Amino acid sequence: MTAFAFQTQATDGKARAGRLETAHGPIETPVFMPVGTAGTVKAMLPSSVKATGASIILGNTYHLMLRPGAERVEALGGLHKFMNWPGPILTDSGGFQVMSLSGLRKMTEEGVTFASHIDGHKVMLTPESSTQIQRQLDATITMAFDECTEWPAPKDKVAESMRLSMRWAGRSRSAFRAREGYGQFGIVQGGTFEDLRHESVQALTDIGFEGYAIGGLAVGEGQEEMFGVLDYAASALPADKPRYLMGVGMPSDLVGAVQRGVDMFDCVAPTRSGRNGQAFTRRGTVNLRNARHRDDPRSLDEACACPACTDYSRAYFHHLIKAKEILGAMLITWHNLHYYQELMQKMRAAILTGGLDDFAAHFHAEQAGGDIPPL
**Which residues are known to be catalytic?**
92, 266
State the Cα–Cα distance between residues 176 and 316, nearest whole angstrom. 49
Distance CA 288, CA 273 (A): 11
Query: Long-range contacts made by residues 110-116, C-beta under 8 angstroms, separation at least 24?
Result: 111/145, 111/168, 116/66
The answer to whether 52 and 337 have CB atoms below 8 angstroms apart is yes
Contact by Cβ (8 Å): 89, 141: yes
Over the chain, what HEC string results? CCCCEEEEEEEECCEEEEEEECCCCCEEECEEECECCCCCCCCCCHHHHHHCCCCCEEEEHHHHHHCCCHHHHHHCCCHHHHCCCCCCEEEECCHHHHHCCHHHEEECCCCEEEECCCCCCEEEECHHHHHHHHHHHCCCEEECCCCCCCCCCCHHHHHHHHHHHHHHHHHHHHHCCCCCCCEEEEEECCCCCHHHHHHHHHHHHHHCCCEEEECCCCCCCCHHHHHHHHHHHHHHCCCCCCEEECCECCHHHHHHHHHCCCCEEECCHHHHHHHCCEEEECCEEEECCCHHHCCCCCCCCCCCCCHHHHHCCHHHHHHHHHCCCHHHHHHHHHHHHHHHHHHHHHHHHHHHCCCHHHHHHHHHHHHHHCCCCCC
Which one, of 249, 252, 279, 231, lies nearest residue 359 by Cα?
Answer: 252
To the nearest 10°, the Cα dihedral for 340, 346, 347, 349?
Answer: 150
